[in-house]
Structure 1
């Protein structure tokens, strides 16, 4: 077995040109998976699974959790995992070929978080896998459609709009928005996070490297709120392909009376809607109640498990998984 984050010798590396179907996201790029691998999230080893059909190749970066058990290469910062493609042609056929190829290597596959499970599950079943898909978490997002900022804002709860109006009028909170990575501002974010209600940051070096890369790409949108010159709230967003992604937010607890986090959110929403012209805002994973105030769409996230019927090692876990699925249906 190779060291953490390395590829098997007979694997091709995911090319930088690979793209997912639909709207692009920062979690669909080769650079993101390389970053995860470099920071220790590739498990026992990394495999960039692939399958070809004509001129199109399907790709899925995976980690080996243990011999025969693979999972999508994600971590807690990932909004979703989905297949990537290079070339033009029948993507569904290429994805089926990928999963047929994986039957030679794996007994058990796990993918989470998955926002659109149908195509992935169908390709797995067509390639001969036993498949379960279950809701596992939540996703809140904003679909602006034809709304501009003012129409969207008018649709938000009255209590939220009143808070922003009242607190902004007091002039206690100063807002700064950045579109480039700044070490001093990032240090302020880390200071705020450490003093916030949130648990200890899981991997701050990875998050900083991600922010630096997004700053270099011109997609970073970061906000800081200060009271009397002291940073009290921070948020880290990115924008890409008509979508704003909200990655991290934090505020100092004893600043709540001035609502700096709410004012900062309002400023960033205005920025990405009016200037970046986004049509969607993705709040990532989690069902925190405050997200409903800002978003108008709520979808489940899914966990997909697949079992290789030709591997005896898969039979026991498959029986347990399908048994749990039956119990859920009976409730």
Structure 2
């Protein structure tokens, strides 16, 4: 078992793909497509890639994706849009793999690590933290974000909606009738390879929303392209007389639906186009995709609580190498030990 730190994706052995495929089952944000696009479009000129790995007999057993900046701090390879972060860890001999990983990290010219956002119940991160502390790092967790989810538990969309607040159900029904009566509307769903071509209909309402212009167009387009190839993307667009007034981009993979980006034209706010679209996609991912979990990702917004039922907490894990202050007495003792050892 050995520790290796790669600085480019092309250096990774092919067996790393198995680990990323396993990570994608936990979260689409632990997939190779996510991290590679983040590296290509999300790192600034002051950052460099560092893939801290453990290998044994040609197999990659662990990957900790890091961004190295000037100085002695390593950061989680993340983006403003990153909703959760973790290390990738194979099932084989996890204690031994973690020992090798933290021992290798302790030898690097890195005095501190900042990993975020990490889940409070992530066993891999917990094991990593214990290993770092045993290696001489002081580790702390600080609250960063809330995360709202819904566990479907075999419900149909109709059953799911019955459990939602009556206020929400009534608003959706009323606004649908109002929009249809006064203007007429159409909802189109784009999936797979059709999504990248339809992204202009996402950007149109986004630019007319409270969010102003999308700051990370290249990053978002790269993710959409990468996630559309395996069929992970769902883009729903609400049109009024051919004009896109609202759009939502979701990612669906391995039984989990991730509500990634939402936008609507504020001129149409009175019709609650966002709620209409969310209800449309909820019905699709529950009844057609058959998902087991729906994740509203980060944020504690009140409207998310109407759709979800369980709130989780995400933290920042900081690990700082302990440096023992050495006074004159300690220096004298150390010198004496060296003298005695040499005599």
Q: What is the TM-score when the length of structure 2 is the normalising length?
A: 0.82
Q: Which residue of 2 aligns with 1:179?
A: 191
User: Does the residue aligned with 2:75 lie in a helix, a strand or coil?
Assistant: strand
Aligned residues: 306
Between the aligned partners of 2:291 and 2:223, the Cα distance in structure 1 is 21
Instruction: State the shift of 1:129 in Å.
Output: 1.8
- Work out whether residues 195 and 224 of structure 2, in 8 Å CA contact, stay in contact via their aligned partners in 1: no
Between the aligned partners of 1:119 and 1:250, the Cα distance in structure 2 is 39
| Match runs of 1:9-158 below 5 Å | 12=12, 15-19=16-20, 23-41=25-43, 43-52=46-55, 57-86=61-90, 88-105=91-108, 106-116=110-120, 118-158=126-166
- Larger helix fraction of residues: 2
Between the aligned partners of 1:80 and 1:120, the Cα distance in structure 2 is 16
User: Does the residue aligned with 2:69 lie in a helix, a strand or coil?
Assistant: strand
Larger CA Rg, structure 1 vs 2? 2
Instruction: State the shift of 1:136 in Å.
Output: 0.7
Q: Which residue of 2 aligns with 1:304?
A: 317
- 1:264-288, CA deviations, whole angstroms, 9 ceiling, x for partnerless residues? 0000000000010001011111111
* More displaced 10-residue stretch of structure 1: 163-172 or 184-193: 163-172
Q: Does 1:227 align with 2:230?
A: no
Between the aligned partners of 2:13 and 2:39, the Cα distance in structure 1 is 12
For the structure 1 residues 158 and 278, does the alpha-carbon distance in structure 2 shift closer, same or farther, using more than 3 Å as the test? same
User: Does the residue aligned with 1:16 lie in a helix, a strand or coil?
Assistant: helix
Instruction: State the shift of 1:70 in Å.
Output: 0.2
Between the aligned partners of 2:317 and 2:185, the Cα distance in structure 1 is 44
Q: Which residue of 2 aligns with 1:162?
A: 170
Q: Which residue of 1 aligns with 2:302?
A: 289
Between the aligned partners of 1:9 and 1:221, the Cα distance in structure 2 is 28
Instruction: State the shift of 1:22 in Å.
Output: 8.7
* More displaced 10-residue stretch of structure 1: 204-213 or 23-32: 23-32
User: Does the residue aligned with 2:99 lie in a helix, a strand or coil?
Assistant: helix
- Work out whether residues 71 and 111 of structure 1, in 8 Å CA contact, stay in contact via their aligned partners in 2: yes
- Work out whether residues 24 and 30 of structure 2, in 8 Å CA contact, stay in contact via their aligned partners in 1: no
- Work out whether residues 223 and 235 of structure 1, in 8 Å CA contact, stay in contact via their aligned partners in 2: yes
For the structure 1 residues 40 and 163, does the alpha-carbon distance in structure 2 shift closer, same or farther, using more than 3 Å as the test? closer
Q: Flag structure 2 segments of 5+ consecutive residues without an equivalent.
A: 1-5, 326-343
- Work out whether residues 50 and 59 of structure 1, in 8 Å CA contact, stay in contact via their aligned partners in 2: yes
Runs of at least 4 residues off by over 4 Å: 8-14, 52-56
Between the aligned partners of 2:135 and 2:312, the Cα distance in structure 1 is 27
Q: What is the TM-score when the length of structure 1 is the normalising length?
A: 0.85
User: Does the residue aligned with 2:211 lie in a helix, a strand or coil?
Assistant: coil
- Work out whether residues 139 and 299 of structure 1, in 8 Å CA contact, stay in contact via their aligned partners in 2: yes
- 1:76-121, CA deviations, whole angstroms, 9 ceiling, x for partnerless residues? 11111111134x4122431232122111111010011112353442
